[in-house]
Amino acid sequence: MARVRLSGLHKHYGALHAVRGIDLDIPEGEFTVIVGPSGCGKSTLLRTIAGLEHADQGAIEIDGEVVNDLAPRDRDVAMVFQNYALYPYMSVFDNIAFGLRARKFPRLEIDKRVAEAAALLGITDQLVRYPRHLSGGQRQRVAIGRAIVRDARLFLFDEPLSNLDAQLREEMRAEIKRLHRDLGKTMIYVTHDQVEAMTLADRIVLLRDGKIEQQGAPLDLFERPKSRFVAGFLGSPTMNFVPARLEPADGGLVVRFEGGSVLPLPPARVQAVMAHAGSAIIFGVRAEHISRANGTATREGLAPLDVTIDLVQPTGTRTYAAFNLAGTEVVAELEAHDLQGPGEQLTLQVDMNRVVLVDPSSDRVL
């Protein structure tokens, strides 16, 4: 296992400032997922840690050793790429063993390590086949096997599942999570898929324009985002954002929308945002925090909202219903049989304990 520390890391490509002063400390054995939209610098950051890109400024430490000037092969790092990078004319066994042979490992040790990796990944019966005979998921297992036989101190994954279909991605996510549990190694995983980030990570590092926007445990970022960007990036469907005003009423605060709809804040949330009373805000609520009202509020903070449904999207287990609020389309996640179809008028309830209020001038969560 390895501890990784990045200090003031910068990387330029001509005029493009891809990585902008990143400070990051990854403890031994942690599964860290670096996530963000395309072009945010996440793959560049990973390749810089691996030594495939040279850092223009800052330090990369692995187990307390500054490795900036070490070649990739001397950093004791194993990397799994998006495109598998398998040798088509070599068998699965030879692909997995390639790195060990290059490092002059004894034959018996190579045989032992390849057999152990293949058993761990469930590809023992594929060792004599060639990559062209394998499915996408099997090829990715071979690429991962080639990395884990190295017994490196640090494992890096660069969007390894992006070429797979949805079902295979789910299967491979489970395989990689199980692999981390069994090996106990430090792993850094890059993806643009927030579902992968949420399901795999001990900690998420969310990048934006080459900087860390927020980092922490997956549920911390999901439930306590610090900015509109974080709130909107994590979650599916994405968070609903509606312009509104925060106004005083009856000793408390309400969120008032254009058109007259009003949602009161629960007392427990009032004090923290009282200084913003009378200000314009962006109201954010996730689809799963809007439900059909059952006639009686079961707990404090459930605010009623009368709507007319514009669009219905059933998924089998749930139904996504879209409606207009202050000129903005809002999506609610309802039970499968909560409504009949578009045009239906009904009362929903919004969990005001779970909403976010954003300062529109800074995009920071209040």
21-76 per-position pLDDT tens digit: 999 999 999 999 999 999 999 999 999 999 999 999 999 999 999 999 999 989 99
Do 255 and 246 contact (CB within 8 A), yes or no?
A: yes
pLDDT score of 294 more than 80:
no
Who's near 1: CB < 8 A, 6+ residues apart? Answer: 28, 29, 153, 184, 185, 186
Confidence of residue 295 (pLDDT cuts 50, 70, 90): low
Sheet of 302-314: strand order equals 290-292, 345-351, 302-314, 318-325, 328-335
Question: What is the per-residue DSSP string for 54-74?
Answer: --SEEEEEETTEE-TTS-GGG
DSSP 261: -
Per the model's pLDDT, the better-predicted residue between 114 and 167 turns out to be: 114
Q: Other CB atoms closer than 10 Å to residue 340's CB: what's the count?
A: 10
Q: What share of the chain is helix, strand, coil (3-state, %, to 5)?
A: 30, 35, 35
Mean pLDDT of 163-188: 87
Question: By the 8 A CB rule, do 352 and 265 touch?
Answer: yes
Confidence check: pLDDT of 83 > 90: no
CA distance 189 to 36: 12
In one-letter notation, the amino acid at residue 332 is A
User: What's the CA gap between 68 and 113, in Å, rounded?
Assistant: 30
Alpha helices in 184-248 (DSSP H): 194-200, 218-223, 228-233
What local confidence, expressed as pLDDT, does residue 111 receive? 92
Are 189 and 201 in contact by the 8 Å Cβ rule? The answer is yes
- What is the DSSP-derived secondary structure letter of residue 36? -
**Distance in angstroms (rounded) separating the CA atoms of residues 129 and 6:** 41
For the chain, give every domain's residue range: 4-227, 240-358
* pLDDT reported for residue 141: 87
Mean pLDDT on 69-98: 90
pLDDT-based confidence at residue 316 (cuts at 50, 70, 90) = confident
Is the distance from CB of 365 to CB of 285 less than 8 angstroms? no
Query: Considering all CA atoms of the chain, what is the largest pairwise distance in Å, rounded to the nearest integer?
Result: 79
pLDDT digits (tens, 9 = 90+) for 214-225: 999 999 999 999
Which of the residue ranges 132-141, 162-171, 186-195 would you say has the lowest mean pLDDT? Answer: 162-171
Q: What was the pLDDT predicted at 53?
A: 94
pLDDT of residue 296: 60
Element (H, E) at 304: strand 302-314
Q: Residue 19 — very low, low, confident or very high, per pLDDT cuts 50/70/90?
A: very high
Which residue has better confidence, 156 or 121?
Answer: 156
Inform me whether the pLDDT recorded for 165 exceeds 60: yes
Query: In the predicted model, what is the mean pLDDT of residues 160-178?
Result: 84
Give the three-class secondary structure for 279: strand
The whole-number average pLDDT for the span 90-96 is: 93
Order of all β-strands in the sheet with 154-158: 77-80, 154-158, 186-191, 31-35, 203-208, 211-216
Q: Residue 266: left (phi > 0), alpha (psi -120 to 50), or beta?
A: beta
* Amino acid at the residue 9: L
Instruction: From residue 230, give the alpha-carbon distance in Å to each of 19, 32, 353, 363.
Output: 19, 17, 18, 10
Q: How confident is the model at residue 297 (pLDDT cuts 50, 70, 90)?
A: low
d(C-alpha 232, C-alpha 366), whole Å: 15
- CATH superfamily entry for domain 240-358: Nucleic acid-binding proteins (2.40.50.140)
| Encoded tokens for 83 | 């495109």
Average pLDDT, stretch 178-207? 93
Flag whether pLDDT at 307 surpasses 60. Answer: yes
pTM over 0.85: yes
For residue 302, what are the contacts with CB-CB under 8 A and spacing of at least 6? 293, 349, 350, 351, 352
248-272 tens-digit pLDDT:
988 889 999 998 899 999 998 999 9
pLDDT, mean over the chain? 91
Q: What token pair was written down for 232? A: 């909107």
3-class state of residue 171 by DSSP: helix
Fold of 4-227: Rossmann fold (3.40.50)
The reply to whether domains 4-227 and 240-358 share a CATH topology is no
The reported pLDDT for the residue numbered 169 is: 83
pLDDT of residue 188: 96
| pLDDT score of 212 more than 90 | yes
